[in-house]
């Protein structure tokens, strides 16, 4: 029982890594707290449902992030770029309004009924893990989360564009004076963050029911992860996502009456200990 609970915690933690990476990237560069990020995840899941039903899951896994990346670039050009210097209340109202618009769009196109995506045939079997049979697809979800964490870390640390992203997130004015087009850079990062939200939606679709309200739970958990990890910190978000995933899974079994408040209790404890989060440097 403990093995399967730990495994499920890692699966949810891996999904949160994919989800929160985009949220942390967008905040790190644009300083926009994107309340619509959960609805972007939901939109990705529904687009994945349509594309998978017309072709197959693997096509959806490639096509949806590409579509969402283009949407993210447009979102940055006509939304986030205008919001980055506005007061926080304006940002909250605009991104929350975007959340409502996307939810209404999903209900209009796909309806309010729950939908599901079939597990891809290539991963539709079980694997023996320490004497417990676990679905191979969920191992694939962990691999996707690990791949995203490793890929983003290497990209930010060793690539030239990653260097620009780190510099711009620290001091955008000086970075722009060095000849870096920070607006184009930010648009690319918002596109990447939005693509990751869409990827998380497609990956989640075969093991979570699709519904217009699916964005709210994961959005709350995502914000808890980003706050605990430190606003704008990817490494902190990776650690916090795994910790929260394990707490959610173990808490639902061993402390069912308190499972709903455990993430918030953890967040309060972490913020009292370190107000900037695990890896945050700014308050």
pTM of the predicted model as reported, rounded to 2 decimal places: 0.90
Q: Which residues does residue 126 pair with via DSSP β-bridges, in sequence order?
A: 135
Confidence band of 152 (pLDDT split at 50, 70, 90): very high
Burial class (CB in 10 A: 0-12, 13-18, 19+), 121: exposed
To which H or E segment does residue 1 belong? Answer: none
Q: Is residue 275's pLDDT more than 90? A: no
Residues 123 and 140: beta-carbon distance below 8 Å: yes
Q: What is the pLDDT of residues 101-124, one digit of tens each?
A: 999 999 999 998 889 899 999 999
Q: What is the pLDDT of residues 216-257, one digit of tens each?
A: 878 888 888 888 888 767 888 888 888 888 888 888 888 888
Q: What is the bridge-based pairing of β-strands 132-135 and 126-129?
A: antiparallel
Q: What is the pLDDT of residues 128-138, one digit of tens each?
A: 888 888 899 99
Three-class SS state of 53: helix
Q: How far is residue 89's CA from residue 125's CA, in Å, rounded to a whole number?
A: 48
Please state the separation of Cα 283 from the chain's center in Å. 22
Q: What is the pLDDT of residues 135-151, one digit of tens each?
A: 999 999 999 999 999 99
User: In the chain, what are the domain boundaries?
Assistant: 1-213
| Helical H segments across the chain, by residue range | 2-30, 37-54, 57-75, 81-83, 88-110, 136-158, 160-170, 172-177, 182-204, 214-229, 234-254, 262-273
Neighbours of 6 (CB within 10 A): 16
Q: How far is residue 134's CA from residue 239's CA, in Å, rounded to a whole number?
A: 23
Would the CA dihedral through 64, 238, 245, 227 be positive or negative? negative
Can you list the pairs that 245-252 forms with residues at least 24 positions away whose Cβ atoms lie under 8 Å? Answer: 245/9, 245/10, 245/11, 245/12, 245/13, 245/14, 245/15, 245/16, 246/6, 246/9, 246/10, 246/13, 247/9, 248/9, 248/12, 248/221, 249/5, 249/6, 249/8, 249/9, 249/12, 250/5, 250/6, 250/9
Please state the separation of Cα 82 from the chain's center in Å. 23
For the record, the structure tokens of 22 come out as 């985009």
Q: Is residue 281's pLDDT more than 80? A: no
Q: What is the pLDDT of residues 24-73, one digit of tens each?
A: 888 888 888 888 999 999 999 999 999 999 999 999 999 999 999 999 99
């Amino acid at each position: 029982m403990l093995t399967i609970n730990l495994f499920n915690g890692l699966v949810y933690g891996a999904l949160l890594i994919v989800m929160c990476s985009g949220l942390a990237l967008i905040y790190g560069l644009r300083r926009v707290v994107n309340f619509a990020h959960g609805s972007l995840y939901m939109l990705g899941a529904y687009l994945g449902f349509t594309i998978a039903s017309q072709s197959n899951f693997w096509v959806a896994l490639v096509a949806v992030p590409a579509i969402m990346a283009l949407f993210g670039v447009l979102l940055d050009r006509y939304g986030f770029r205008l919001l980055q210097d506005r007061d926080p209340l304006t940002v909250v109202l605009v991104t929350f309004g975007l959340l409502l618009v996307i939810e209404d769009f999903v209900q209009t196109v796909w309806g309010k009924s729950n939908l599901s995506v079939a597990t891809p045939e290539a991963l539709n079997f079980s694997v023996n893990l320490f004497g417990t049979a676990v679905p191979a697809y969920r191992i694939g979800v962990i691999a996707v989360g690990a791949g995203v964490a490793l890929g983003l870390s290497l990209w930010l640390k060793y690539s030239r564009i990653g260097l620009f992203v780190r510099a711009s997130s620290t001091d955008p004015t000086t970075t722009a004076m060095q000849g870096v087009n920070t607006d184009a850079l930010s648009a690319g990062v918002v596109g990447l963050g939005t693509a990751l939200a869409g990827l998380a939606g497609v990956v989640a679709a075969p093991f979570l029911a699709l519904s217009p309200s699916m964005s709210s739970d994961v959005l709350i958990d995502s914000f808890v992860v980003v706050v605990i990890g430190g606003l704008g910190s990817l490494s902190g978000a990776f650690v916090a996502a795994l910790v929260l995933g394990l707490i959610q899974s173990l808490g639902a079994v061993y402390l069912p009456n308190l499972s709903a408040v455990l993430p918030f209790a953890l967040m309060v404890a972490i913020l009292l200990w370190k107000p900037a989060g695990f890896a945050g440097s700014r308050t």
